[in-house]
Amino acid sequence: MRRRRRRDIIIELTSLLDVIMIIIFMVMKENSKMIVDKQNTVDAIQQVNSQQAGEIGELTDKVDELSGQLAEALGKLEEGSADELLEKLQAAENKLASYEAIDDIVIVLNIGLENKYNNTVRCLTFGKASDKSTVIDNHDDGEFEVSVNKLKVFVSNYVDKILSDKDNQTIVYIVFTYNASKVYQRDYEAVGEALKEAEIKANNGNFRYRINPIK
């Protein structure tokens, strides 16, 4: 068997060393990336811990504040202020009952008319003052006519309440608010005509409406 020459052996060893160096470099690079990732994870955990510590501190402050308020309330009770607190509570309940009674007897209805978006939308709103109003946006005459018919039905229901009240105690008061410079005259007249029709149908002084122009 022929002996390998020294030069060939050196070349092979050099190639092998190159491969080993490349592997070592890749391992070092991967280890460096892992270290950076772990450091980022540690920083994120520390940030979360810091945030939770702040939230716990805020919660502790709120608990201390509530404890102070409770202690103050208990102190007032111990000083004999219970009767005063009960009187205030009773007065508040009486006021609430009065407001509810008034709302049952005097029914206030709000009607609003305005043009929006450079007169491209004609908005009609109506509803009981103590409830959320119905808002209808109209883009043409046909839609507005439908809205006015809905308004007539809405008002007519309260006219029927007056007509069915044998004791003549139910009062319906309507406030029609509009801006004369920002609505069409024909729209204003349509709403006004609906209210006049309701007034004629009620034929009772307990049905009243007031026009509230906005300048």
Distance between CA atoms of residues 188 and 11, nearest Å: 102
> What pLDDT score does 117 carry?
85
> What pLDDT score does 50 carry?
64
> What pLDDT score does 169 carry?
85
End-to-end distance of the chain based on CA atoms, in angstroms?
117
**In Å, how far are 10, 11, 12 from 7, measured between CA atoms?**
5, 6, 9
> What pLDDT score does 160 carry?
94
- Report the run of H or E that residue 200 belongs to, with start and end: helix 185-202
> What pLDDT score does 121 carry?
93
> What pLDDT score does 195 carry?
96
Task: Using 70 as the pLDDT threshold, list the residues of the chain that sit under it.
Answer: 1-64, 66-105
Beta strands in the chain (DSSP E): 106-116, 121-128, 134-138, 171-179, 207-214
